[in-house]
Structure formats: C-alpha cells, structure tokens
Amino acid sequence: MAHASDGRSMEFKLPDLGEGLTEAEIVRWLVEVGDVVAVDQPVVEVETAKAMVEVPCPYGGVVTARFGEEGTELPVGAPLVTVAVGEAAADGPARERGAGDGAAPTPAAEPPAAEPKPEGSGNVLVGYGTSEAPARRRRVRPDRPAATGASGRANGRVRAVEPVGGAVGTAEPVDGPVPVISPLVRRLARQHDLDLRELTGSGPDGLILRADVEYALRAAAAQGGRTADREAGAGGAPAGAAGPAASPSDGTRVPLKGVRGAVADKLSRSRREIPDATCWVDADATELMRARTAMNASGGPKISLVALLARICTAALARFPELNSTVDTEAREIVRLDGVHLGFAAQTDRGLVVPVVRDAHARDAESLTAEFARLTEAARAGRLTPGELTGGTFTLNNYGVFGVDGSTPIINHPEAAMLGVGRIVPKPWVHEGELAVRQVVQLSLTFDHRVCDGGTAGGFLRYVADCVEQPAVLLRTL
C-alpha cells in the first residue's frame, strides 16, 4: 500500500502478505532515515504467523521516516516508511528527515498542485498495488520520550531501573538499529520487557548476545529485590512475616502470537470442529530399511526414509480417497480432492510449521527427497513463503525423530487425516514362525470421522503397514 502524503512524499503501508494475515512484527529494518532506496528494494524484514518476509517498497527515493521500532507488531495497513520521490529526493533529504523526527512541515514545503504524481513499480505482493490514493498530509512522528527513572517507558518498553545511589548504570539509548542478530535474543528481551538499545553488547562490534540479556535480567531482578526489601522495612513489616500467597498472576506470561499463536488457533479450531479418532498398528520395517539401503547403494541421489513413507501415503490415498478430503460445513458436503498436497511436520526454532509438498502424488522418491530437503532447509532458515505453508490435503507426521514410539496427533485443519510414524527400533518379532530381532515401527492414523468410518481408516492404515513390511506391494501401483 502506498499513498501520496504531500505530493512529493509517498507513505508506504504494511501490505496484506496473504493467507488472511492481519499483522506482522518488525524483525529488522533494512534501511535508515536518509538512505536512498531503489524501486522494489526491500526496506524491512517482518515476521508473520507463517514466515519471515522481506517487504519491498514500490517507490524509489530518500527514506524520510520509519514507523515502528524493531520488535513492534503492526497491523496490515499501518504506515511503514515515507519516501521522498522525484525532486524531493534531490533537494530535501534533510527537511524530510526532520518531518520523520517530529517536526511539522511548513507551508512553504507544500508542492505545486499541478506537479505530476510519481509512478509506482507495478510490483505487487498480495492485496496491494502501487496506484495512487487521494493526497493527504504526511503523518508526523512524535519525539521519542526520554527515560523517566524506575517507572519510565519509551517505545513501549520499560527503561532502566535507577540504582540505589541514583546513578544509572546502563548506556543511554541510541538511535538507529539495535546490534542484534538472533531472533531468540529479541524474543527473550520482548518477553521480559527489556529495551535492547540500553544494553552494551559483549560480542564482536558490540553485538548483543543472549548472555548480555540474561545478565541484564538478573541485575534487574536483584535491584527489584533490594527495592522491595527497603519498602518492606520502611513500612514496619516484621522481618519474618509471611508474604501473600501466590496468585494466578504470578509467573511469566508469554504472548500467544506469531507462529505460536497461529498454531494455537489452528489446533483449537481442529479440536472444536473435527470429531477425530485414532487407530494404530505396529509394523516390521526391516524390509523397507533394506530396500532403502539397496536404492542408495546403486548410486545417484540418496533417497530419504520420509520420501519412501510419503510415496506409500500417496499410494494409500489413491486406494482410499475418502481420507484426501475436507468438509464444507456451510454446505454440509464432503469435498474429495483430486491431487495430494502432502504436508509434513517440521520443528524449527520459531516453532512447529507444516510445509507442503505440491502434487506429491505425481512425484517419485527422488523428487520427493529433494523437495523435502528444500522445504526443511527453508523452514529452519525462516524463508518459507505463505504459499509453501498452506493448501495441504494430508499430513505426514514423523514424530519418531523425537525418540517416541506413538502419538495421537491433532489433525491439521481443514484436512481429514494425519499419518503418524514413530521411531524405528530393534524389537523381538515373530518372523516366518520364529522369534527374531526386527526393525519395528508404530504407525498411527488420526482421521475425521465425518468423512469415513473405521473400516476405511483401518483399511488405509493396514495398506500402509503392508507396504512398510513388504515394499514390493507398491509395485502394483507403479
């Protein structure tokens, strides 16, 4: 979203990033006030409930104002930056920079009414373009308040607590980017309402590390304890008096937002709407493991185990299409889907995400292996796009990587089923009439009871187990 602010400056707003997202958190500014930006140059990195996204600005010129500090959550449509374009980029960077810092524009700065309007790039994210909107005045950003001691706040964060002697031991806040790289450090600071600009980093070039944040939190806790002791002594309370009982407000509160909030909303909706049931079976995976070893010994790209399991899933869904469906509650209809877009659960530093392999039914084991590897790497790096996290029709959940045997997972709404795979471990097993040590895995299927009965679900799971035990069964459908 971009709108004319005064005929020369363009106000660029946070666009709709797709998939119904309504807000995003500023992770890192990529430009400073006064920087010259090109058309479609990324100006800010934001984190939505689904992915990390670099947002490009559709105008070129001089950045005159930024709206929101790193760590701030903005709704879609809120201003991000203003950019002086055309002549303003050449003759007024200093004037525009003053407007971004809170100075009101003077009447002399008003542009001629007949000045041509700048053209946008034509580039579109989702839900916004670069066409002009009716002209209006630029937003004026108020001056940043100074620290006010123990109770002071600036930019929504608590300032440093004043020590006993009155001297402030932390550095003065400094304008500009905060020298932090790790999102975990930012999250830790946000959870404890700590202003990172007041810390001096111990890393290279002043980089703020997790140890710096933890040290500041311990120092603040110790200072708070001494203050509480002084107040208790002034009030005349007995030294041995028992304090008030713990209340529900005690402890640390973690906001349900971002990835964690999106997961919470989706799983809660699944529990409310889907009458799910789970069945499971143990299977002898020895022959599947041998088949994979033989495949990888023949040369060429290595085949992953999850790719073989995915190939088994697609073959089973072809035989039991009821499980590759969704329920249209408004129309009271079951919608059976033609293609299989296979989601798989991936645990990352940002939380649980479910990337989707498009057209999994049309891929062979090599193609599935490559796509799983690509999406997993993108998930860990936080580069998955909203399109790569949505549109799944069935989910494969390999919770065996966590060292557990079984689970009753929650269905990924609005899908109808999820196959769970436990760890593969040596166990005693009766094989060809004799007791032997075999590689055994537990398989579970959680399904929506509205789309099928237990017979269909049991048939699907039994077919999957048969393919795991005898991979040659798959040859019938190849």
Q: State the Cα–Cα distance between residues 445 and 465, nearest whole angstrom.
A: 11
- Paired strand residues for 154: 157
Buried b (16+ CB within 10 A) or exposed e, 97-125: bbbbbeeebeeebebeeeeeebebbeeee
In whole angstroms, give the CA distance from residue 313 to residue 306: 10
CA distance 177 to 43: 13
Instruction: Please enumerate in sequence order all residues whose Cβ is within 8 A of that of 248, keeping only pairs 6 or more positions apart, or say none.
Output: none
> Which among 463, 42, 19, 101 is positioned nearest to 265, based on CA atoms?
19
Nearest to 180 by CA among 157, 198, 158, 154: 198
Catalytic residue (one of 91, 193, 349, 453): 453
Tokens describing residue 439: 């590689």
How many whole angstroms separate alpha carbon 89 and alpha carbon 36?
A: 8
- CA 209/CA 70 separation, integer angstroms: 16
405 a catalytic residue: no
Cα 476 from Cα 40, distance rounded (Å)? 51
Strand partners, 437: 428
The number of C-alpha atoms within 13 Å of 236 and in the hemisphere containing its C-beta is 0
Question: Is 449 a known active-site residue?
Answer: yes
382 Rama class: left (phi>0) / alpha (psi -120 to 50) / beta: left
Q: How many CB atoms lie within 10 A of CB 214?
A: 13
Q: Which of 422, 373, 380 is closest to 401 using CA atoms?
A: 422
Closest by CA to 181, choosing from 198, 159, 203, is 203
Distance CA 1, CA 298 (A): 54
Selecting among 193, 265, 349, 449, the annotated active-site residue is 449
Catalytically active residues, by annotation: 449, 453
